[in-house]
Structure 1
Amino acid sequence: MPNWLLPEHIADVLPSEARKIEELRRQMLDNFRLYGYELVMPPLLEYVESLMTGAGQDTELRTFKLVDQISGRMLGLRADMTTQVARIDAHLLNRNSVTRLCYAGSVLHTRPSGLHTTREPLQIGAEIYGHAGLEADAEIQELALASLAMAGFTDVRLDLSHVGVLRAILAEDPAAAKDEAALYLLLRAKDVPGLETQTAGYAPAIRAALLALPSLYGDVEVLKRARDVLPDLPGIAKALAELAALAASAIGRADVAIDLADLRGYQYESGAMFALYVPGLPNAVARGGRYDHVGEAFGRARPATGFSMDLRELARLLPTAERKHSIRAPWGNAPELKEKIAELRKAGEVVIQSLPGHSNEQDEFECDRALVLDDSGSNWILKNLG
């Protein structure tokens, strides 16, 4: 095997693509800061017990594991940064007030999470801790939509779901509650024949409710239909009311859809969940939701809600970045030349000095001007190259 080959679904990022990703990262983090979010940088690897705390089975299957040669304990390379940030809030910052945190960094997956996706996403996200009200969910949803708008995406679909619906149904039937994991997989796949078989021995009302969930998707009118066909339970009523409020807050910013069987993230989410889709990608570009119980395993339960997205996948949809106009300068140590180059760079200009005997080949820069001596041979001036 040639030694330049990379593992499947792992790829280098070349200059023009890297610039798109980095510019997106900077713009989004700067925007997060305008909302009051503080940047944190969790480590790339931790003890497996810490990484798996509060995470679902999906996260464990996606996590690379290795043995620490210092302690002999099992380490994991992070597959998601959400639980790490929850640990920072609960264990290190330990604030009593509302805390807004954001992050950006690479994560690693044992398998790709979707069609044509990388196993090394560049995850960026934001989280709010300490407020249990729907206001925090609405802010996170607004911030996720604003992030996509900043990247140039205006045709966005927002899919809303809520784990409270399924959990309220399961709480009414011990047999159904015992099969929670199997029901979750069947609902996520919208496997109606499988659901019919799985629910054969359940209470009639509970079975009917579970069989109705896969068909409860569409525009916001689905919420009215859900009230008609689902049991009149406080947990369901509360979940549907929250979905209605979040849908109303997004009207005009995105096409809103409801899908009560979209349960990705169900294993550690605790309330409303959302996914954002844009044309050109089969997978959601961003996912978010409420996860109030993750911090509990770190010794401090805190209300929490947040979202994350993969910048590498998002950047693939953006047009090729235009080449940056730049200035070509000769190589030399003359004080006047160095002073002029420093002055231009301080003003924000890209100045590329040509090394002796070599031409410059760049994907990122287009030298449309050159630094040359004037006719007197004493002053450095810019010459337009056309």
Structure 2
Amino acid sequence: MPNWLLPEYIADVLPSEARKIEELRRLMLDNFRLYGYELVMPPLMEYVESLMTGAGADTDLRTFKLVDQISGRMLGLRADMTTQVARIDAHLLNRATVTRLCYAGSVLHTRPSGLHSTREPFQIGAEIYGHAGLEADAEIQELALGSLALAGFSDVRLDLTHVGVLHAILEQDPVAKKDYEAIVALLRGKDVPGLQQQCAKYSQATRAALEALPNLYGDVEVLKRAREVLPALPGITHALAELAALAASAIGRADIAIDLADLRGYQYESGAMFALYVPGLPNAVARGGRYDHVGEAFGRARPATGFSLDLRELARLLPTAERKHSIRAPWGNAPELKEKIAELRKSGEVVIQSLPGHNDEQDEFECDRALVLDESGSNWILKNLG
């Protein structure tokens, strides 16, 4: 096997794509800061027990594991950064007030999440801790939509759901509650026959409510239909009201859809959830939602909501970046030449010095000007190369 081959679904990021990713990262992090979010940088690996805290079986399967040569304990390479940031809020910062945190970095997956996905996404996201009200959910949703707008996407679809609907249904049936993960898997796959078979052992009320969920999808009118067919439990009433409010806050910024069976995520969500879709990508480009219980294992339960997206996947959807106009300069140690180059770079110009015996060849830059001596041979001037 050639030694330049990489593992499947692992790829180098070449100059033009790397520049798009980096520019998106800077744009989004700067925008997060305008909202008051503080940047944190969790480690790439932790003890498995910490990484798996509050996460479901799907996160466990996605996580690469290895033995620590120092402690002998099992380490995990992060597959998601949300639980890490929750640990930072709960254990290290330990603030009593609302805390807004953001992050950006690579994560690793044992398997790709989609047909053309990488196993090394570049995850960027934002989280709010300490506020249980819907205002935090609305801010995170606004921030996620704003991030896609910064990337140049105007045709966005917002899919909303709420795990509280399922929780309220299962709370009424202890037998069904034990099968939570199996029911979630069937709802995610819209496996109606499988769901009917699973529900055969539950009470009539539970069976009717669960079997109704896969058909409760569409525009915001679905909420009206849900109130008619689902039991009038306080938890369901509250969840549907929150979905209506979040949908109203996004009017004019995205096409809105409701799907009460779309429970895809990391299985630590506890309330309203959303997914964002853009043309050209079958998978959700961003996901977010409320996860109020993750911090419990770190000694401090805090209301929490946030979102994340993969910058590598997003960058692939964008057109090739235009080549940067730049200046070609000769190689030399003359003080006047060095001073002129430094002056140009300080003003924001890209100046590429040609090394002796080589022609410049870059994907990212187009030398449309050259630094040359004037006719007197004493002053360096810019010459348009056309």
TM-score, length-normalised on structure 2?
0.99
Aligned residues of 2:163 and 2:271 also touching (Cα < 8 A)? yes
Aligned to 1:326: 326
Q: Distance in 1 between matches of 2:114 and 2:235?
A: 32
Q: What is the CA deviation profile of residues 34-71 of structure 1, one whole-angstrom value per residue up to 9, with x for unaligned ones? A: 11100000000011111111111111100000011111
Any gaps of 5 or more consecutive residues in structure 2?
none
Q: Please report how far the alpha carbon of residue 266 of structure 1 lies from its aligned counterpart in structure 2 after TM superposition.
A: 6.3
Runs (4+) off by over 2 Å: none
Alignment of 1:58-77 (within 5 A): 58-77=58-77
CA distance in 2, matches of 1:309, 1:177: 31
Distance of 1:39 and 1:178 partners within structure 2? 39
Is the 8 Å Cα contact of residues 55 and 266 (structure 2) preserved in structure 1?
no
Q: Which residue of 1 aligns with 2:199?
A: 199
1:125-274 to 2 correspondences below 5 Å:
125-265=125-265, 267-274=267-274
**Per-residue deviation at 1:173?**
1.0
Deviation at 1:204, TM superposition (A): 1.0
The amino acid that maps onto 1:136 is A
The yes-or-no answer on 1:370 pairing with 2:370 is: yes
For 2:122 and 2:197, locate their aligned partners in 1 and report how far apart those are by CA, in whole Å.
40
Equivalent pair of 1:115/1:283 in contact (CA under 8 Å): no
Equivalent pair of 2:98/2:129 in contact (CA under 8 Å): yes
**What does residue 300 of structure 2 align with?**
300
User: Is the contact between residue 326 and residue 349 of structure 2 (CA under 8 Å) also seen in structure 1?
Assistant: yes
Distance in 2 of aligned mates of 1:92 and 1:195: 43
Could you tell which deviates more after superposition, 227-236 or 67-76? 67-76
Return the alpha-carbon distance in structure 1 between the equivalents of residues 4 and 264 of structure 2: 36
Match of 2:85 in 1: 85
Q: Is the 8 A contact 2:132 2:304 kept in 1?
A: yes
* Secondary structure of 2:60 counterpart: helix
What secondary structure does 1:305 align onto? strand
TM-superposed CA distance for 1:179, in Å, is 1.5
What RMSD in Å do the two structures reach over aligned CA positions? 0.6
Map of 1:310 onto structure 2: 310
Cα deviation per residue 1:234-283 (whole Å; 9 max; x = unaligned)? Answer: 00000000000000000100000000000112621010000000000010
CA–CA distance in structure 1, aligned partners of residues 79 and 136 of structure 2: 25
Unaligned runs of 5+ in 1: none
* Contact 2:59-2:266 within 8 A present in 1 as well: no
Alpha-carbon distance change, 9 to 49 in structure 1, aligned in 2, over 3 angstroms: same
Task: Give the deviation of 1:334 after TM superposition.
Answer: 0.3
Contact preservation (8 Å) 1:163, 1:266: no
Residue number in structure 1 paired with 2:339: 339
SS in 1 for 2:120: coil
Does residue 50 in structure 1 map to residue 63 in structure 2? no
CA drift of 1:201 comes to 2.2
Alpha-carbon separation, structure 1, partners of 2:255 and 2:378:
63
2:14 aligns with 14
- CA distance, structure 2, for counterparts of residue 100 and residue 142 of structure 1: 14
CA displacement at 1:364 relative to structure 2: 0.1
SS of alignment partner, residue 265 of structure 2: coil
- The reply on whether 1:5 has 2:5 as its aligned counterpart is yes
Give the aligned residue type for 2:258: I
Distance in 2 separating the partners of 1:168 and 1:335: 75
Partner of 1:349: 349
Deviations along 1:95-118, one digit per CA (max 9) or x if unpaired, are 111000000000000000112100
Partner AA of 1:131 in structure 2: H
Identical-pair percentage:
89
TM-score (norm: length of structure 1) = 0.99
Amino acid at match of 1:12: D
C-alpha distance in structure 1 between counterparts of 2:95 and 2:42, whole Å: 18
- Name the CA distance, whole Å, in 2 between partners of 1:116 and 1:98: 38
| Count of residues in Structure 1 that have an aligned counterpart in Structure 2 | 386
* Partner deviation per Cα, 1:121-169 (whole Å, 9 max, x = no partner): 0000000000000000000000000000010000000000000000100
Q: Which amino acid aligns with 1:181?
A: E
**What's the CA shift for 1:299?**
0.4
State the AA in 2 paired with 1:46: E
